[in-house]
Structure 1
Amino acid sequence: MPGDLNTIDLKPKLISRKNLADRWEISVQTVIVYEAEGIITRVPSLPTPRYKIAEIEKIEGIEENPLSPIERRRLEKENKDLRDQLSFVNKLISNISLQCTSYSK
């Protein structure tokens, strides 16, 4: 039933710039920078800056990358080397296969 108190969501849908700064323990200016960089999106239809709680909670749910930058580069290089090796082996197998078919004729 519409208007039933049991079905009304009392959780706020929007958060102010100041409350977001307090929540993240950063300055209001940093929130403005995050907005300018596209990290967070301001609700455009309101005259005062407000942000969707759902978007903020989604951002807060991001886990930090467990790899250090050095470890990430090492793994990326290893991945590239393995792909190159695989490509070489596939070409080698293809050449051997072609040679075998030409001998069988």
Structure 2
Amino acid sequence: MASHLKGVTKSTMTDEARKALCEYKRENSSCTQKDLQLWLENKFHLKVSQGTISNTLKRSADYLAANYLEKRKDIKRHKPAKYPDMEKVLYEWFLQYQDRVNMT
């Protein structure tokens, strides 16, 4: 799939950057999405599309929630587990055998 940002390296925002963007927009409500793109580039060295800005602002209530970033600030994508019980058991197995088996 071709990027709609020609010549721009694809980058993904962390939740920390998303929250900062939402807070900045809340404090500077007159900023355009183009202004927010430039702000992100200067502050986080990220080049993102206008669509990414728009989608982030749509979910700003989630990102501004107080406990949203408690676990990890470096998360980039949120994908719920299809089989959470199986993933939990597999993760425990992985932790138990990671020193004995070559895993890739």
TM-score per shorter chain, which class? under 0.3
Q: Which has the higher strand share?
A: 1
Q: Comparing both chains, which one has the higher relative contact order based on Cα–Cα distances under 8 Å and sequence gaps of 6 or more?
A: 2
Q: State the TM-score, normalized to the length of structure 1.
A: 0.26
Structure ID, larger Rg: 1
TM-score (norm 2): 0.26
